[in-house]
Chain A
Amino acid sequence: QSALTQPASVSGSPGQSITISCTGTSSDVGGYNYVSWCQQHPDKAPKLILYDVTKRPSGVSNRFSGSKSGNTASLTISGLQAEDEADYYCSSSTASNSWLFGGGTKLTVL
């Protein structure tokens, strides 16, 4: 059960767009459309921002969007805002009745 692979950090200026990748295998990310993304601010609980690869929960800004190609899923945040600075985690269900998280990506808004 190895973690999904995410970049450790990304950065962008206010108003710009950034993309965070999440790479797994055909037994998890590539095999199912059950990839989700969470946002976590320091010392806070995670918050779901995308599920089923592209769907946004009610109340989540449409600046957050998702996609998937093969074994890699991506989270794109457009129109970066200071409040977007946080850690982001992808997750996926797997073929072995388990769930995997990515190692997390720290987003810095410059």
Chain B
Amino acid sequence: QVQLVESGGGVVQPGGSLRLSCAASGFIFSTYGLHWVRQAPGKGLEWVAFIRYDTSNKYYADSVKGRFTISRDNSKNTLYLQMNSLRTEDTAVYFCARDFGGFDIWGQGTMVTVSS
């Protein structure tokens, strides 16, 4: 069964850091690009970052550039999102999604709350 499972969300103060993980199963992880997408409470979807299957290219939304870092470990079938200098506006559910003709497989999401 093709599956993505996020973890690592929680409550953090403004200026703090958090690392999200996304564990994959049921497909050949090392052959797919992967995205992080977030959704603020009651709001729409916002693309955050993308990493190619071989890590040769990484792209970021302007809103997170310089603060977030996407990475992956193909030996562990895991995608990561290191989030630094967090702001209240980063509060959202964070989804990982596989890239195949769009965002074809999604995880269930992990909630990140940035609040003092």
A positions within 8 Å CB-CB of B: 1, 3, 34, 36-38, 40, 45-48, 50-52, 55, 57, 87, 89, 91, 97-104
| Main SS at interface, chain A | strand
Structural contact, A98 and B45, CB atoms closer than 8 A: no
B residues near A (Cβ < 8 Å) are: 35, 37, 44-47, 50, 57, 59-63, 95, 97, 100-109
Closest to A92 in B: B102
Given A34-B102, A36-B103, list of 5 further CB < 8 A pairs? A1-B63, A37-B102, A45-B106, A48-B103, A100-B47
Q: Within 8 Å CB of B35, what residues of A? A: 99
Q: Give B97's nearest chain A residue, CB to CB.
A: A46
- A51-B102, A98-B61, A99-B35 known; A45 vs B44 contact (CB < 8 Å): no
Given A98-B61, A99-B35, A104–B104 Cβ distance below 8 Å?
no
> Are A38 and B45 in touch, CB under 8 angstroms?
yes
Flag if B101 contacts A55 (CB, 8 Å): yes
Contacts of B62 in A (CB 8 A): 1
Verify B47–A101 contact, CB threshold 8 A.
yes
Q: Are B47 and A99 interface neighbours, CB within 8 A?
A: yes
